Chain A
Amino acid sequence: MSATWLLPLPIVLPFATAVLAFLFRRGPEGRWISVFGSAVTLFLGVLLLIEVLSYGPQAAQMGEWPAPFGITLVADTLSAVMVVITGITGLAVAVYAVAEIDGDMEELGYHALFQVLIAGVSGAFLTGDLFNLYVWFEVMLISSFGLLVLGGKRVQLDAGIKYVTLNLVSTILFLSGIGLLYGTTGTLNLADLSRIAPTVDPGLMTVIAMMFMVGFGVKAAVFPLFFWLPASYHTPSFAVSAVFAGLLTKVGVYAMMRMFTLVFTQDIAFTHTILLWVACLTMVTGVLGAAAQTDFRRILSFHIISQIGYMVLGLALMTPLALMGGVFYLVHHIIVKANLFLVSGVANRIAGATELGHIGGLYKGAPLLAFLFLIPAFSLAGFPPLSGFWAKYVLVKASMDLQLWVVAFTALAVGLMTIYSMTKIWGQAFWKPHPGGTVPSLSTLRPGERMALLTPIGALALMTVLIGLFPEPFVLVAERAAGELLDPSAYIAAVLGEEEILQ
């Protein structure tokens, strides 16, 4: 299949799945359409990645309007990897949702909203046009609003109001940034922007860059713009919070990585120093916030923030090694974080709550679940030989290479603090006897449900272990992605054609 169709399909297919799943929402067909659609989307993502790895960055012009006038879809290694990871998370959560989402939520259109969310995320990863990126952000946002309040529990409404209002502020800032950027450069095509940006007054560009930094910063939940995240991520259903935790903030990080390597590279000493401070403070505040929490999902929510810090750190250092670490972290984190939220859902199901004081005895009653929790939890904290160890190792090494001892120390210390939170969950939820005197057990679930809940958790845990044991191919891909970010000439050539570059 040629690039013209391979690029739009990971976006079109979830939309088509959404339409079908909505029309069949009253029966059991809807959920299986969702699972099947997610599987095909993943398959297409893998095809795209193979294409990009063998022939370099690919571009497709929608409606055959040539760049920079039409809407361009571009996939370099980073985009393609992110699309594959989106597919993996989407499939895992779609399978999990079969057992978790009840008939009422399905009738309100849960599966359709979920697929639209996946389409929005893939669109944001694949687009090569800034305004189009805004549109995908909105697609993602509106479906996430729906998913967040679906079910209509009071606590969800409370969380929904905070999530919706603060995210709207961020998109408006992003939109204003787009307006200013268009006013100064006269184009919104990312590749074209990258060509024109050096000719514009650098002071003006830095001001615009700051607007983007704040706009994307809210999306990515960096310090001090993260307050909407711990207020909302623990309230929706577990499948929803897993896909939010895995994908949504990472789109913000991706957008930052893209813009601050492709377009805003005029004053790296200024912008990336700010990013460096932001990264360190994000790591520290996130992990300290987690230490103060006593709810399974709220602890995990704060850990998302602290881990976002590591990814931004990779971008802030801006060396090949650091960017490689950032990309590797992005991939590893999506898998691990989505998995931990899925585990918390099973724990809630069999032990009856997520508040750590009210549950316990999971190690005794459900050793399999305990084992499946330990893998992503240790990986998050950075234990060898799991995936998180390599991700952290590379980032610490990159900061030491630049002799940023404080940064390296912060990264290591935050890793230690992560272990503290994970042992808190372990001690309270798994080791301590259940306060109700019962022993929670997986056998209380129906066999079909057990399969649907545990298969995605097991598969994601297996991937964590595989990345940890055989990191080399993943590191090579991440290295390639980082190389393309630092030298975007292949990306620009794919979009605008070779001869444009020479002019």
Chain B
Amino acid sequence: MEVFVAIMVGALVTASVYLMLARNVLRFLFGLVLLSNAANLLIFSAGGLTPEAPPLIAPGADLPPAGVANALPQALVLTAIVIGFGLFAFALVLIYRGYQNLGTLDSDEMRLAEPREGEAADPLRSAEAR
């Protein structure tokens, strides 16, 4: 079971690196989503995959029976998913705004903050950027 999950993590990372190498920022963002899913899956499998029993303690007992699933990685993954969801929603809004204002999704053409040599000396341009 762990082997399959490990291969899946590998496949997700491969796909995400491919996407992140693109100049298009939207593709980059999709790559990030895949990468974060790969990380979540990694945590999930790192805690050990035990299909036997849910981590529930019977009434009156102090300890769960042996062989129960590890609850901590699930809690961690849940937290990570929630945080990731918020960050990606923000990034998506930001990229959309960026597209509206800058007129491009190509990261090579986003040169306002880092103008090419000589462009910064043009006061009109930098005034407009400000």
Contacts and interface: CB of A to CB of B under 8 A. Distances in A.
Do A and B originate from a single complex?
yes
A141 to B, nearest CB: 7
B8 interface: no
Nearest to A146: B90
Contact of A154 (B39, B43, B72, B102): B102
Contacts of A154: 101-102, 112, 129
Nearest to B76: A131
Contact of A135 (B48, B72, B79, B87): B79
A179 B42 contact: yes
A99 interface: no
A253 interface: no
Contacts of A183: 45-48
Contacts of B114: 230-231
Contact of B32 (A135, A168, A294): A168
Contacts of B111: 158
Interface in A126-149: 131, 134-135, 138, 141-142, 145, 149
Given A154-B101, A182-B46, A358-B123, 4 more contacts: A159-B112, A162-B110, A179-B39, A294-B120
B94 A357 contact: no
A384 interface: no
Contacts of B98: 157-158, 160-161
A463 interface: no
Nearest to A131: B76
Contacts of A231: 113-114
SS class, residues of chain B in contact with chain A: helix
A164 B120 contact: no
A154 B33 CA distance: 25
B46 A159 contact: no
B91 A168 contact: yes
B69 interface: no
Interface in B95-130: 95, 97-98, 101-102, 107, 110-114, 120-121, 123, 126, 129-130
Interface stretch (A19-27, A114-122, A170-178): A170-178
A123 to B, nearest CB: 14
A141 B87 contact: yes
Nearest to A182: B46
A235 B39 contact: no
A297 to B, nearest CB: 11
B43 A160 contact: no
A182 B43 CA distance: 8
A184 B46 CA distance: 8
A149 B94 contact: yes
Interface in B16-62: 20, 25, 28-29, 32, 35-36, 38-40, 42-48
B90 A179 contact: no
A292 to B, nearest CB: 9
B67 interface: no
B90 A159 contact: no
A134 B75 CA distance: 14
Contacts of B29: 165
17 contacts: A131-B79, A142-B86, A142-B90, A149-B94, A158-B98, A158-B102, A161-B95, A164-B90, A165-B32, A168-B87, A175-B40, A175-B80, A179-B39, A179-B76, A182-B73, A235-B113, A295-B120
B83 interface: yes
A141 B129 CA distance: 25
A234 B120 CA distance: 13
B43 A152 contact: no
A159 B25 CA distance: 13
B97 A157 contact: yes
A153 B129 contact: yes
B99 to A, nearest CB: 9
